[in-house]
Amino acid sequence: MKIDILTLFPKMFENILGESMLKIAQEKGLLEISVRNLRDWTSDAHKTADDKPFGGGPGMVMKIEPVYRALEELEVTPRGCNAHPRGGHVVLLTPQGKKFDQKAAKRLVKEKRLILICGHYEGVDERIREMADEEISIGDYVLTCGELPALVVVDAVSRLIPGVLGHSGSVKSESFENSLLEYPQYTRPAEFNGMKVPDILLSGNHKNIERWRSSESLKRTLKRRPDLIKKGRKKDG
């Protein structure tokens, strides 16, 4: 899978993309991530990527030209243009987008190429929205920039790429799969400061362990996120 990130602050990605699972996925050739500085597509000496909004108002608005030129150079034709293939799935990270969840991650991982546009300042020129295939938000709160949401999307999608995680069953057992939160996990030592691992996990009876895990997963979801149970019922119905 190939992911292009269009940003005004490329240094924000350096450490995270070079660590842990994301680093390994790139080294294996399963994932190719390119961080693109939108200022490279500005046309003035000051590399201006924002300007005051028409009609007045606070803050600055991200300009359309750098984004358009970047997509054009990356061979991603403007949305709605039938002259050439689209070239990738364009996502704008913005508070106005549809809330990101595991279902969205599963949908995006099917794309061969993602282009993530990181919104910034007071907002983006409305015409940038018209160039995106969809808009995504990671929650109902305001962040300084779209770089952090972009990293969230990259991480959530990348772990679904076959071969990225060490164990094929890891994804299936995680929270939000099957509309349930993940069951409690423990590792050695079996006892620490009087806190013990449940005996069932030490029994070696894998059938009983699976039953326990299913039960605990359901209990935890009912207690912490009962809304997930309702969503699961609606989906099944």
Which tokens go with 92?
Answer: 């704008």
Residue 78 preceded by cis peptide, ω within 30: no
pTM for this structure? 0.86
Sequence-distant contacts of 180-183: CB under 8 A, at least 24 apart: 180/217, 180/218, 180/220, 180/221, 180/228, 180/229, 180/232, 181/217, 181/220, 181/221, 181/224, 181/225, 181/228, 182/217, 182/220, 183/212, 183/213, 183/214, 183/216, 183/217, 183/220
CA separation for the pair 196, 206 (Å, rounded)? 19
Q: Consecutive 10-residue runs of the chain (237 residues): their mean pLDDT?
A: 97 96 96 98 95 92 95 81 73 95 96 95 89 95 93 97 78 68 95 97 97 96 92 67
Structural domains of the chain ordered from first start? 2-158 (3.40.1280.10), 177-236 (1.10.1270.20)
Provide the pLDDT for residue 85: 63
Provide the pLDDT for residue 164: 94
Provide the pLDDT for residue 127: 94
Provide the pLDDT for residue 94: 94
Provide the pLDDT for residue 122: 76
